[in-house]
Chain A
């Protein structure tokens, strides 16, 4: 079967070649001498992030430097991407703490549910986006790495202030 060709209806009375080319050249020349400057010179100059930017995770710590996490298990339960691995432990006083807490930043979809669900305000998403590693394993952040992150954390959406002002 032959290929059916869509034949366009052209306004043939308006067709021109030389004049249309000249119009196009005038347009490109205008842009060349007066460009709309939008390029950001990235490594030297970085645009400010929104306070609600959801990026690399960060685990907040108590005053003695241990993670605030109480290993309640809510974040792995709510995580839609199933990227949080949590093994709870318990000390002699009956306080629960995470034996293993790992977030796979490759699986994570940065929805922010873990931050929203956390009763202790321990796990947060952060205003940070430069994650480069040499191996895939490097993207599995353990508890030590999560607590060591220093970037500002993401502010959650406030229903009373929907525009974030």
Chain B
């Protein structure tokens, strides 16, 4: 294919038509596609490979971080521990694939793929570095620069639940089914808070393209500073969406054995494991892109803007990877710090706290943008000062103090853990006593006699 392209591209290069700073011209052998197609294929291959190797290494990182937090050493045998993911992979390939009785075979086999593919597909729209100028035209460092990137993410992220639900349902196992049910409830609930928490970003960016969102943060400051509450809600929802502690109820080893993947073995189990980490990587990348400026480097405008050069691509790629790795570490850090929420606490947190909070925050930010626009504050920086961003940050500081310092005191998330009122307790005890006595006639007669005696005494 590359050979076939040469005749069509080379003359253009010789004539100096191709501008490295501009997208590649559409003069390929295949008509409108050609160089862009090759670019896309190269990007897909590279991203996929790096992603999969990264996910494998993440399993090692998780075990090492957990070990350090728990004063242990972690894996240190296979090539000082570095070969552990490889050894695990080999082990999983060698193991027996079990197929329990009466499973729904097609769905049972498809479920691991369903769990894995959405997480992988999400990476297509995430911009991960500054564009790279090449002799054949500029290569944008995003696999598919969709103008609707954000909507694509919301749509695909909600597909992730299918793998887990199908695995739970197809397994013909009560624990797996319970895990699947929990997962569906949990992910549907947190999906809403997650979507709502990102509305303020769209209000600021005025666009659903992730590239625009990154640009906008480069101009007006990271969204984590201007929209901390949204960032917090998104973070919590992302934990719930990826089924990580403290929201790993679909797995819940202590209650459900292993939850939805109880019946899976060997490589199919491994795929679920990979899917969990793939989800983590994707959520971390989203976090970095939506709230932490994506691939841009703070306070270094030269590297974030045209004209593009290869070293700018390298530096911004490094910045992006650093942010993603930080969030991956954050995931692990939280996992080995917090215990699991109870199911009713999870639902209360999602529906009664995060959803109203994100809705209220949308109103606040919409009001703020409206007010700032009415006051004539420009959205672009004035003399290098992001006035718009600073105004939002000021509002944000007040909100954060109110929420995380004043409001975060003396409240319990779950209604079930609050104390029952004394009157209610009396009523419940009476109901219980009556139902117990109704089953035992003799005792009932005695109780009735005692009741008469007490009522007589009362008179």
Q: A7-B420, A9-B419, A18-B404 are in contact. Are A32 and B65 (CB under 8 A)?
A: yes
Q: Find chain B residues with CB under 8 A from A21 CB.
A: 334, 337-338
Q: A31-B68, A31-B70, A31-B71 are in contact. Are A12 and B410 (CB under 8 A)?
A: yes
Q: Find chain B residues with CB under 8 A from A19 CB.
A: 404, 408
Could you tell me if B68 and A32 are in contact, using CB atoms closer than 8 angstroms? yes
How many positions in chain B have a CB within 8 Å of any CB in the partner chain?
25
In the complex, chain B residues 116-167 whose Cβ is within 8 Å of any chain A Cβ: none
Q: Give the docked Cα–Cα distance between A7 and B65 (Å).
A: 36
Interface assignment of A87: CB less than 8 Å from any CB of chain B: no
Q: Find chain B residues with CB under 8 A from A38 CB.
A: 71
Interface assignment of A132: CB less than 8 Å from any CB of chain B: no
Interface assignment of B417: CB less than 8 Å from any CB of chain A: yes
How many positions in chain A have a CB within 8 Å of any CB in the partner chain?
29
Q: Give the docked Cα–Cα distance between A18 and B73 (Å).
A: 30
Name the segment of A22-30, A107-115, A142-150, A154-162 touching the other chain.
Answer: A22-30
- Whose C-beta in chain B lies nearest to the C-beta of A27? B337
Q: A10-B417, A25-B333, A39-B73 are in contact. Are A15 and B338 (CB under 8 A)?
A: no
Q: Find chain A residues with CB under 8 A from B436 CB.
A: 1
Q: Which of A7, A13, A27 has the most CB atoms of chain B within a 10 A radius of its CB?
A: A7
Q: Find chain A residues with CB under 8 A from B432 CB.
A: 1-2
Cβ-neighbour of B410 out of A8, A13, A37 (below 8 A):
A13
Q: Find chain A residues with CB under 8 A from B435 CB.
A: 1
Could you tell me if B412 and A10 are in contact, using CB atoms closer than 8 angstroms? yes
A29 CB to closest chain B CB (Å) equals 7
Could you tell me if B417 and A18 are in contact, using CB atoms closer than 8 angstroms? no
Could you tell me if B408 and A16 are in contact, using CB atoms closer than 8 angstroms? yes
B326 CB to closest chain A CB (Å) equals 13
Q: Find chain A residues with CB under 8 A from B73 CB.
A: 39, 41
Q: Give the docked Cα–Cα distance between A35 and B337 (Å).
A: 15
Q: Find chain A residues with CB under 8 A from B269 CB.
A: none
Interface assignment of B336: CB less than 8 Å from any CB of chain A: yes
If over half of B's interface residues share one DSSP class (helix, strand or loop), that class is named, otherwise mixed; here it is: loop
A49 CB to closest chain B CB (Å) equals 23
- Whose C-beta in chain B lies nearest to the C-beta of A2? B432
- Whose C-beta in chain A lies nearest to the C-beta of B407? A18
Interface assignment of A93: CB less than 8 Å from any CB of chain B: no
In the complex, chain B residues 64-89 whose Cβ is within 8 Å of any chain A Cβ: 65, 68-73
B217 CB to closest chain A CB (Å) equals 24
Cβ-neighbour of B71 out of A2, A10, A12, A36 (below 8 A):
A36
Q: A7-B419, A7-B420 are in contact. Are A28 and B337 (CB under 8 A)?
A: yes
Interface assignment of A134: CB less than 8 Å from any CB of chain B: no
Q: Find chain B residues with CB under 8 A from A27 CB.
A: 337
Interface assignment of B409: CB less than 8 Å from any CB of chain A: yes
Interface assignment of B383: CB less than 8 Å from any CB of chain A: no
Q: Find chain A residues with CB under 8 A from B411 CB.
A: 12, 15, 17
Could you tell me if B333 and A15 are in contact, using CB atoms closer than 8 angstroms? no
Interface assignment of B303: CB less than 8 Å from any CB of chain A: no
A48 CB to closest chain B CB (Å) equals 21
- Whose C-beta in chain B lies nearest to the C-beta of A13? B410
Could you tell me if A37 and B71 are in contact, using CB atoms closer than 8 angstroms? yes
The 5 nearest A-B residue pairs measured at CB: A32-B68, A35-B71, A24-B337, A28-B337, A18-B404
Could you tell me if B410 and A25 are in contact, using CB atoms closer than 8 angstroms? no
Could you tell me if B69 and A28 are in contact, using CB atoms closer than 8 angstroms? yes
In the complex, chain A residues 31-69 whose Cβ is within 8 Å of any chain B Cβ: 31-33, 35-39, 41
- Whose C-beta in chain A lies nearest to the C-beta of B73? A39
Interface assignment of B347: CB less than 8 Å from any CB of chain A: no
Q: Give the docked Cα–Cα distance between A18 and B401 (Å).
A: 12
Task: Give me 19 A-to-B residue pairs in the complex whose CB atoms sit less than 8 angstroms apart, sorted by A's number.
Answer: A1-B432, A1-B436, A2-B432, A9-B419, A12-B411, A12-B412, A13-B409, A15-B410, A16-B409, A19-B408, A21-B338, A24-B337, A25-B337, A27-B337, A31-B68, A31-B71, A33-B68, A35-B68, A35-B72
